[in-house]
Structure 1
Amino acid sequence: MNITKEQIDELNAVVKVAITKEDYQDRVDGILKDYRKSANIPGFRKGHVPMGLIKKQYGKAVLVDEVNKLLQDNLNKYLTEEKLDVLGNPLPKQQDNFDWDKEELSFEFELGLAPSFEVPLETKDPITQYKIIADKEMVDEQVKRIQKQYGKLVNQEEVDKNFEVTGTFKNEAEEIDNKTTLELDKIKSKKAIDSLLGKKVGDTVSLKSKGLFKEDYLLSSVFGISQDKAKDLDIEADFTIEEINKRELATLDQELFDKLFGKDEVKSEDELKEKIKEDSEKQFEQQADQKLLNDITEYFIDNTSFELPTGFLTKWIQMTGEEQLTEQQANEEYEKSEKGLRYQLIEGKIIKENDLQIQLEELKEFAKGFIKSQMAQFGQLNPQEEELENIANRVLSNQDEVKRLSEQLMSQKLLDLYKEKVNLKTKQITYEDFVKEVYG
């Protein structure tokens, strides 16, 4: 077997493979002998079918199959040994009326080659790294939310401001029949509030859906309908009152602090606010980090210039899908995927040049951290190491989970590298202003 490469240009090459009978004949003959032993052909005893008949019936199919296996194995080996960085997979060049009976079989494969480029990590322009702070207003709101959540409901005779009213919404035309609880401090419509004030259990009031709440998303839950249906809904619905309650706020005392954070972890209202601020900013850090990673990714894509073997990649997309695409469809698919491909190449180069690797033990520790945070959400704050180890082993036995966690860990490694190398400028900002600035 002889394999040679013809370089077309920096991004395209053709590999030529010449195969002679000596390369495949022994393998073909061995398979045909096995076929002869088991062949069941009318008129012949099993194992006594003439080899000429076996070759006539199965020879060409076996030859094609074995040659294709040889091609695949040796072509992959050649690409590895020659350290050719290819995009996609080699594409066989079409050969009409191919003669499988020739003494030497010749095949050609088109290659798309990865471009050569540099990615300087010290960016020319500084990239904003947000530090999101929990301001006094946010902390005070969270304290009030905790007090409401852990407070108690006291039954009342008639509706007053800031009460909670449980009842059933009905509108026959829209098929609405849903029991819910209204918090008066979340209602925006003054007319609706005036309609409810002073009402008693058993009373029914008619409320307009449009502009009912300060937050539009609440409408779907109180009516028991989808967000899509609630979006432009403009109706009147009857609300029959079944229960009226006043929520008394929980006292900020040691019993509440211990319930929230464990015994003596927090001992005063000031410490509670500091803890809320600390925990909130830790959560905000994840959002800020994701924003930073996205911005650096976009910067590298926009500022790293290199050519791609567009013609080859378009043809590869056209030929290798589940269904063969038209040229126009392949061009459209390439345009959609080009940006992602560019970043894959950029990211791969950064990972290789900075020797970013993932070891099994650090992946397991990363998985344990993820599991621990999940358990904390359900109140399991101090799981045993043995329990974490067992869960992590189960998680890492699933290849899909291994892939997902590996990608997350590599993103964290890249982010750590970027924080060290990239030209950053820090901007301190409240969460509300961050949302406005980033998401509009």
Structure 2
Amino acid sequence: MNITKEQIDELNAIIKVDIAKDDYQDKVVSILKNYRKTANIPGFRKGHVPMGLVEKQYGMAVRVDEVNKLLQDALSKFLSEEKLDVLGNPLPKNQENFDWSVDDFSFEFELGMAPKFDINLKPKKAIVAYDIYADDKTIDNQLKTIQKQYGKLTSQQEVAKDSEVTGVFVNESIELDNTATFEIAQLKGKKNVDAFIGAKVGDVITVKTKGLFSEAFSYQNAFKKTEDEAKDLNAEVTFTISEINSRELAEFDQELFDKLYGKDAVKTVTELKEKMKEDAGRQFQQQSDQQLMNNVTEHLIEATKFDLPAEFLQKWIQSSGENPMTLEEATEEYNRSEKGLRYQLIEGKIIQENNLQVTFDELKGYTKDMIKMQMMQYGQMNPEDKELEDIAARILGNKEEVKRLSEQLMNQKMLTFFKENVNLKTKKVTFDEFVKEVYN
């Protein structure tokens, strides 16, 4: 057997594999002899079938199977020994009039080579890392929400400015049929408020979706759509009232504090605010970390310049999918996934050069910590290590869970690496300022 590689350019190569009869013949003969011992062919006793008949019936299939096995093993070994950094898998070149009846074979495969590139983690213009904090306005709004949530509902005969109404929004043409509850104070504009004031249970009110509410979250609640989608919709909808209530705000007393944080954990409104700021800080940290990952990822994709073997990858996508694809469909899929592929290569280089691989011990420790936190939420504050080990072993026995947890742990490692190595500029903002900057 002989294997050679021809480099077409920096990103493309051809591998040629020559297989001679001597490479596979002994194995084929051995298999056919075993077939002869077990073959059931009418007119012959078991084990006494003439070898020529066995070869005629099974010889070609066995030869093809053994040559393909040799071919795949040889390719895998060659790529490993030569340490070739390839994208996708080798693609067999179309060889017209290929003849399996000859003794010697020659196969050719296309390779897409991974590009070489450098990564700049210290851009001149620093990447923004948001430090989101809960300002007094945010905390006050949360306090009001808590008071409403734990407050007492009182039924009303007709809608007033302090009312909370429940009903169904309907518009058949846009397939809208959604039950929603909202406060009259959430409505935007005097015209919309006036449409509801004085209405009773059973009344049907007609309004436009565009500009109906003051806050974006209200659109999701009412129409199961974002504010922008509702604006573009600009549909006329009906709202049939089923309930009208006023909500008496709950008092901040020890009973409410205990409901929120457990017995005697909080004793004053001042302590409650501090707890809420801590909770908000943890929630905001997750959002700021995710945005940092987004910002760094976008920078690395834009700033790290390299070519890809696009034509090869398009053909590989076309041939590797579960369902048949045209070349045009494969090209579209490549264009959609190109950014993701570029980041995979950049991330892989960072992981390799900085030894950020996830070890099994790290994964087990991460899994045990996750289990411990979940158990603490249910009051098990000090679980025994053996119990954690047993639960972790069950979880890590599931391949899908291992993949999911490994990805989570690698994301943590990458985030820590970026915080320590990328040129960052910290920007302290309120949550409203963060939303305005990032999402508007």
Same fold (TM over 0.5): yes
Deviation for aligned residue 1:15? 2.0
Quote the residue 2:241 is aligned against: 239
Instruction: Quote the Cα distance in structure 1 between the aligned partners of 2:196 and 2:391.
Output: 52
Shift in CA distance, 94/170, structure 1 to aligned 2, threshold 3 Å: closer
Aligned to 1:61: 61
Q: Name whichever of 301-310 and 170-179 sits farther off.
A: 170-179
Counterpart residue number, 1:408 = 408
Find the counterpart in structure 2 of residue 207 from structure 1.
Answer: 205
SS in 1 for 2:8: strand
Matches within 5 A, 1:12-91: 12-91=12-91
Letter in 1 for 2:87: L
| 1:153-232 matched pairs, under 5 angstroms | 153-154=153-154, 160-165=160-165, 181-188=181-188, 190=190, 193-194=193-194, 204-210=202-208, 212-215=212-215, 218=218, 227=225, 231-232=233-234
CA distance in 2, matches of 1:304, 1:178: 47
Q: Secondary structure at the match of 2:250?
A: coil
Cα distance per residue 1:171-210 (max 9 Å; x no partner)? 79889998765533334464565566567xx755442232
Measure, in 2, the Cα distance between the counterparts of 1:418 and 1:268: 40
Greater Cα offset, 300-309 or 208-217: 208-217
Deviation at 1:405, TM superposition (A): 1.8
Deviation at 1:245, TM superposition (A): 4.1
1:356–1:42 distance in 2 versus 1, CA, 3 Å? same
Question: Structure 1: any 5+ residue segments left out of the alignment?
Answer: none
Residue 165 of structure 2 contacts residue 182 of structure 2 at CA under 8 Å; is this kept in 1?
yes
Structure 2: distance between partners of 1:114 and 1:170: 54
Alignment partners' CA distance in 1, 2:357 and 2:41: 57
Shift of 1:262: 2.2
Q: CA deviation at 1:425?
A: 0.5
- Determine if contact 1:113/1:309 at 8 Å carries over to the other structure: yes
Unaligned runs of 5+ in 2: none
Matched-pair contact (CA < 8 Å) for 2:129–2:427: yes
Instruction: Decide whether the 8 Å contact of 2:171 with 2:236 is kept in 1.
Output: no
Superposed displacement of residue 435, structure 1: 1.0
Change (3 A) 1:282 1:179: closer
Work out the CA distance in 1 between the residues paired with 2:276 and 2:305.
45
- Residue 422 of structure 1 corresponds to 422
| Whole-angstrom CA distance in 2 between matches of 1:247 and 1:277 | 26
Q: Deviations over 1:131-153 (max 9, x none)?
A: 11111100001011112222223
Distance in 1, Cα, partners of 2:107 & 2:24: 15
TM-aligned CA deviation for residue 118 of structure 1: 1.5
Q: Which residue is 2:9 aligned to? A: 9
Between 1:407-416 and 1:203-212, the stretch displaced more is 203-212
Equivalent residues in 2 for 1:279-428, closer than 5 Å: 279-371=279-371, 380=378, 382=380, 384-386=382-384, 389-428=389-428
Query: What does the per-residue CA deviation read over 1:200-245, in whole Å, with 9 as the maximum and x for residues that have no partner?
Result: xx755442232554447657866xx76599854414444355xx54
Query: TM-score with structure 2 length normalisation?
Result: 0.86
1:411-438 per-residue CA deviation (whole Å, 9 max, x = no partner) reads 1111111111111001111111111111
SS in 2 for 1:120: coil
Structure-2 separation of matches of 1:298 and 1:219: 30
8 A Cα contact 1:209 1:219, kept in partner = no
Q: Tell me, yes or no, if the aligned pair for 1:195 and 1:205 is still in contact at 8 Å.
A: no
- Distance change (3 Å), C-alpha of 1:34 and 1:375: same
Three-state SS of the structure 2 residue aligned to 1:41 is coil
Which has the higher mean CA deviation after the structures are superposed, 272-281 or 391-400? 391-400
User: CA 1:76–1:165 in 2, change beyond 3 Å: closer, same or farther?
Assistant: closer
Give the drift of 1:54.
Answer: 0.8
Distance 1:141 1:122 in 2: 40
Give me the whole-angstrom Cα distance separating, in 1, the residues matched to 2:160 and 2:388. Answer: 50
Aligned with 2:128: secondary structure?
strand
Three-state SS of the structure 2 residue aligned to 1:385 is coil
SS of 1:209's equivalent?
Answer: strand
The whole-number CA distance in structure 2 between the counterparts of 1:216 and 1:116 is 46
CA contact (8 A) 1:196 1:205 kept: no
Q: Percent identity?
A: 58
- 8 A contact 1:169–1:176 mirrored in 2: no
TM superposition shift of 1:384: 5.0
Cα shift at 1:358: 1.0
Residues 192 and 208 of structure 1 are in contact (CA less than 8 Å); yes or no, is this contact kept in structure 2?
Answer: no
Contact 1:39–1:49 (CA under 8 A) maintained in structure 2: yes
CA separation in 1, counterparts of 2:12 and 2:179? 67
AA aligned opposite 1:56: K
Which residue identity lines up with residue 86 of structure 1 in the other structure? V
Letter of the 2:205 counterpart = L
Greater alpha carbon shift after TM alignment, 96-105 vs 38-47: 96-105
TM-score by length of 1: 0.86
- Measured in 2, the distance between the counterparts of 1:393 and 1:429 equals 42
